[in-house]
Structure 1
Amino acid sequence: MRASLTASLMLTAALLAGCDAAPAETEHVEVVQPSVRSKAVQLVSDELRYRFPGVVRATERAVPAFLHGGVLRERHVVRGQRVEQGEPLATLHNPAMAPAFVAAEARVRELDASLSRLGRDVERARTLRERNLSAEEELDRLRSEREALVQAREQALAQRDETQAQLEELTLRAPFAAEVTDLDAEPGDFVAAGQPIMRLAGVAEREVAIRVPANLAARLELGQAASVSPTFDAQRLAGEIVHIGRAGESMAPIIISISNDGAPALGEAVRVQLEIVAREVTRVPLAAVVDPAGSAPYVLALNDDDTVRRVPVTPGRLAGGWVTVNGEGLAPGDGVVTAGQGRLEEGMRVRVLP
């Protein structure tokens, strides 16, 4: 028993001696830097989009009317009919027009006959004068009378042409290729001079008329692009501003021209989108904004030594995965962390992945 106790004590002493003889070892722990991805802050021109309601209409429009009053004798077209340029639209009856033309034409024929007779008298008097058988005064008188008759005939011709034109005006004709959109008078109605008979809409081109605030109209330019889409359709048509009206302090009329190919029907309601370049703004990827919908959104910006700093921001308009932001200490070209923000703290050094 004593021998066993002695052996145990000797073994314990040997082990303790061995431990004291072993060299001390120090454990080195390597700090691993978090890996992140980043993108540079951009400075871009902000584009503001405005939408306005409008109605499609024809670029060429007309409201035909007669120059004189009378009874509408006949209407040659119906609502919705397409007409070509020069095609008859309606005929007016005015009992004073035809007799006036007949009288003017008769007056011209009368003066032609008188002028022919007087011409022969002048030739006869000239021949007699050459033979010294008549006085010079007689020849001068006949020549003056013939000159006055020529002037009277010119006036009569002008009167005849005028009455003929008025007679032709009793038939309305289409000023251009168009569609009859409305009828304002029926055959048998008495119409006054200038009273609308029908309404025409040209078939060549289409346009949209809108009204915008005066301060916005001042920032628009002729030839500027616009987007037109039907109210209940996703289709978009390219348009161009062709007219900017004056408004003072009120709304200004704006006209947008659109292609006739695939254009909405006349009178259809559409929406016009205008894009206006505004001031330059700073934007970052949406993924770089931490808690964008919260009360204190921020981004983690990278310093030159790859440490991160927290920059509070105010998010703005989102477009194409980028969001405009307002934040002090954030400049164009600065890197912002777009992936790996969850485990980062202020001042930590990170490894930026390519």
Structure 2
Amino acid sequence: MSQGKRGVPAPGVLGLVLGVLGILLLLTGCDSAPAAKGEASAALDPRAAVRVTQVRNGSAEESLRFPGVVQARERVSPSFLHGGVLSERLVERGQRVEKGEPLARLHNPALEPALAGAEGRVKELDAHLARLERDVERARVLRDRNLVAEEELDRLVSEREATVQAREQAMASRADAAAQVEEMTLRATFAADVADLLIEPGDFVAAGEPVLALSGIDGVEVSIRVPVTLGARLTAGMTARVSPTLQEGRFQGRISSVGRAGSALVPVVIELEPDSRLAPGESVQVYLSVPTEPSLQVPLSAVQDPGGHAPYVLALTDDESVRRVAVAPGRLENDWVTISAPLSLGDRVVTAGQGRLQPGDSVRVLP
């Protein structure tokens, strides 16, 4: 192949290079043309650019959280019916006891003598009644022979009947005295663990004063208190989730009862599943999913002046102009806020670019 002067490309090579450069310039011009056209179009459009989001329906449930403490489903602090001195305590703190097992004994010097007196009265009346039975039978025999008057027989029969009634009253008194003495021994009403000891042997115990605390072993529950307005929306059987505060895990529960407020709060009891592995006294968080009324939601970024006295959103009309709509914000859920406002489902609200907008301004909606 022939070459020109030193350092100057041959005519064929120069033409090939110029052709490649022309193709590259043509491709570059085609790619940049739409972008340049779009930039020019945006530069010519005086309307403010905004981004919008449609108003949506809020969730049908509201999730609420309350602190609580696990407690045994059966629990009691037993006490004596009468006052006295605690003579003996038969259990220790943390001990497992069965139903009917004795827990403690009381000493009251007035109860056992009362039982002895009642028993003596019954024995006395038994002997008197036996003697009257013999006298009545003897009087009947003598009356058949006309040896005693009818009035004497009637007197003996009446005295026997009165003695029978007196004996029945004495037996009732003896049963009551025996029950009082039996109450001097405190017994477990169900299988439980001894949670605490409140009185020491030798201390005086007033009637009705708790002696110890029992925590049942047949299941656990959580008791919480909720506002009155929320309590009216809760019913027995609704599900709940319970999470321990100091460990991992989440357990299912069910509302077993809802009280009525005597003050500002309503007591609610959540019964836990048998496999919850939660111990009485453990601190937990209770999550309730409560049905809510239908509501509208907008992104939190759409609400202007949310902490002020007149929060509002900027909504778009069909002709892409802005109108100002006053709103009353409610609960926040994943960056969406529930509102009360004269808006409808699907209405568009401005979420970005609303800094200098005024009611009536036309805007350009960015994709």
TM-score, scaled relative to structure 2: 0.68
- C-alpha distance in structure 1 between counterparts of 2:80 and 2:341, whole Å: 71
Residue 64 in structure 1 maps to residue 78 in structure 2 = yes
User: Which of 224, 228, 235 pairs up with 1:214?
Assistant: 228
The residue that corresponds to 1:144 in the other structure is 158
User: Does the C-alpha gap of structure 1 residues 48 and 105 become closer, same or farther in structure 2, counting only changes over 3 Å?
Assistant: same
The residue that corresponds to 1:112 in the other structure is 126
Residue 245 in structure 1 maps to residue 283 in structure 2 = no
- Shift of the alpha carbon at 1:292? 8.2
Q: Is the 8 A contact 2:58 2:338 kept in 1?
A: no
Which one-letter code corresponds to 1:211 in the other structure? R
Q: How many residues align?
A: 295
Q: Residues 286-305 of structure 1 correspond to what in structure 2 (within 5 A)?
A: none
Residue 78 in structure 1 maps to residue 57 in structure 2 = no
- Shift of the alpha carbon at 1:55? 0.8
Q: Is the 8 A contact 2:122 2:171 kept in 1?
A: yes
Q: Is the 8 A contact 1:184 1:197 kept in 2?
A: yes
Residue 259 in structure 1 maps to residue 273 in structure 2 = yes
Which one-letter code corresponds to 2:121 in the other structure? R
The residue that corresponds to 2:211 in the other structure is 197
Q: Is the 8 A contact 1:311 1:328 kept in 2?
A: no
User: Does the C-alpha gap of structure 1 residues 94 and 347 become closer, same or farther in structure 2, counting only changes over 3 Å?
Assistant: closer
User: Does the C-alpha gap of structure 1 residues 325 and 254 become closer, same or farther in structure 2, counting only changes over 3 Å?
Assistant: closer
User: Which of 168, 177, 182 pairs up with 1:163?
Assistant: 177
Give the secondary-structure state (helix, strand or coil) at the position aligned to 2:140.
helix
User: Does the C-alpha gap of structure 1 residues 116 and 51 become closer, same or farther in structure 2, counting only changes over 3 Å?
Assistant: same
The residue that corresponds to 1:33 in the other structure is none
- C-alpha distance in structure 2 between counterparts of 1:327 and 1:100, whole Å: 75
Give the secondary-structure state (helix, strand or coil) at the position aligned to 1:233.
coil
The residue that corresponds to 2:60 in the other structure is 46
The residue that corresponds to 2:149 in the other structure is 135
User: Which of 99, 110, 114 pairs up with 2:113?
Assistant: 99
Q: Is the 8 A contact 1:281 1:324 kept in 2?
A: no
Q: Structure 1: which 5+ residue stretches go unaligned?
A: 1-39, 336-344
TM-score, scaled relative to structure 1: 0.70
Give the RMSD, CA atoms, in angstroms.
3.8
User: Does the C-alpha gap of structure 1 residues 169 and 330 become closer, same or farther in structure 2, counting only changes over 3 Å?
Assistant: closer
Q: Is the 8 A contact 2:234 2:258 kept in 1?
A: no
Q: Structure 2: which 5+ residue stretches go unaligned?
A: 1-53, 306-311, 349-362
User: Does the C-alpha gap of structure 1 residues 347 and 174 become closer, same or farther in structure 2, counting only changes over 3 Å?
Assistant: closer
Give the secondary-structure state (helix, strand or coil) at the position aligned to 1:239.
strand
Q: Is the 8 A contact 2:236 2:258 kept in 1?
A: yes
Give the secondary-structure state (helix, strand or coil) at the position aligned to 1:111.
helix
User: Does the C-alpha gap of structure 1 residues 199 and 328 become closer, same or farther in structure 2, counting only changes over 3 Å?
Assistant: closer
Which one-letter code corresponds to 1:73 in the other structure? S
- Shift of the alpha carbon at 1:274? 1.4
- C-alpha distance in structure 1 between counterparts of 2:96 and 2:249, whole Å: 27
User: Does the C-alpha gap of structure 1 residues 178 and 311 become closer, same or farther in structure 2, counting only changes over 3 Å?
Assistant: farther
Give the secondary-structure state (helix, strand or coil) at the position aligned to 2:279.
coil
Q: Residues 328-347 of structure 1 correspond to what in structure 2 (within 5 A)?
A: none
- C-alpha distance in structure 2 between counterparts of 1:323 and 1:311, whole Å: 21
- C-alpha distance in structure 1 between counterparts of 2:131 and 2:332, whole Å: 93
